[in-house]
């Protein structure tokens, strides 16, 4: 049975290049038979966090927030695609993530990162681990990185050069790691309700 995987991307920049990575991931997971859905924070357009989804009375959350809450609750796994801003996480992706809490619980998350330089967003990648764990997700150990991203993926999200070859070699293990935890979480949720 295919898994529903949300690919979450958070750059708001005019000339954003990380969308290449998000596009690549959607295509590669779909090739594996999964249902991969791109959640682009810029397109969703949630405001800077004022009220979390759970703080609205039932039926009164903004339409975009309600739709995303439904997608998060029905997802089997999440992949966070992050750049690195001043050694930290992208504010657009963090803002989108922070609008929700219980909706994330008891599912695995994976982190992939990129940058225009050689470090491939590694510090942003690392910063997400603690955040996602605190938000009730199991963060898998496998990760993917691309840097410089323009040397790894072209404008359409297709791998290029040696960096693209390395990404392609790494994707299968990454996807299998996420699939293992996705299945484990599904099976456990079927056996017993989460403890809270």
Residue pair 20/157 in contact (Cβ under 8 Å)? The answer is yes
Q: What is the pLDDT of residue 37?
A: 98
For residues 9-19, one letter each, b for 16 or more C-beta atoms within 10 angstroms of the residue's C-beta and e for the rest, the string is bbbeeeebbbb
Domain limits for position 152: 4-191
Q: What is the CATH number of the domain that holds 129?
A: 3.40.50.360
Residue 125 lies in a domain: yes
The string of pLDDT tens digits covering residues 161-182 is: 999 999 999 999 999 999 999 9
How far, in Å, CA of 68 to CA of 61, rounded?
11
Residue 109 lies in a domain: yes
Residue 53 lies in a domain: yes
Look-up of token digits 């357009």: 45
How many Cβ atoms are within 10 Å of 135's Cβ, its own excluded? 17
As for how many domains the chain has, the answer is 1
How far, in Å, CA of 51 to CA of 128, rounded?
22
How far, in Å, CA of 132 to CA of 89, rounded?
12
How far, in Å, CA of 31 to CA of 39, rounded?
18
Residue 44 lies in a domain: yes
Residue 196 lies in a domain: no
Residues in the chain predicted with pLDDT less than 70, given as ranges, are none
Residue 22 lies in a domain: yes
Q: What is the pLDDT of residue 19?
A: 97
Q: What is the pLDDT of residue 194?
A: 86
The string of pLDDT tens digits covering residues 62-88 is: 999 999 999 999 999 999 999 999 989
């Amino acid at each position: 049975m295919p898994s529903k995987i949300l690919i979450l991307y958070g750059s708001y920049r005019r000339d954003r290049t990380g969308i290449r990575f998000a596009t690549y991931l959607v295509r590669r997971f779909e090739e594996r038979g999964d249902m991969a859905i791109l959640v682009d924070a810029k397109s969703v357009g949630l405001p800077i966090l004022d009220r979390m989804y759970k703080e609205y009375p039932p039926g009164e959350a903004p339409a975009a927030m309600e739709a995303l809450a439904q997608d998060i609750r029905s997802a089997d796994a999440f992949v966070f695609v992050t750049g690195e801003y001043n050694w930290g996480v992208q504010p657009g992706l963090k803002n989108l993530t922070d609008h929700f809490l219980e909706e994330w619980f008891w599912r695995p998350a994976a982190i992939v990162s990129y940058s225009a330089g050689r470090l491939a967003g590694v510090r942003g990648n690392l910063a997400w681990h603690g955040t996602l764990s605190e938000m009730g997700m199991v963060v898998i150990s496998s990760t993917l990185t691309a840097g410089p991203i323009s040397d790894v993926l072209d404008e359409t999200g297709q791998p290029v050069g040696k960096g693209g070859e390395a990404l392609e070699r790494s994707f299968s293990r990454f996807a299998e790691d996420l699939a293992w935890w996705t299945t484990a979480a599904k099976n456990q949720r079927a056996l017993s309700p989460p403890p809270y």
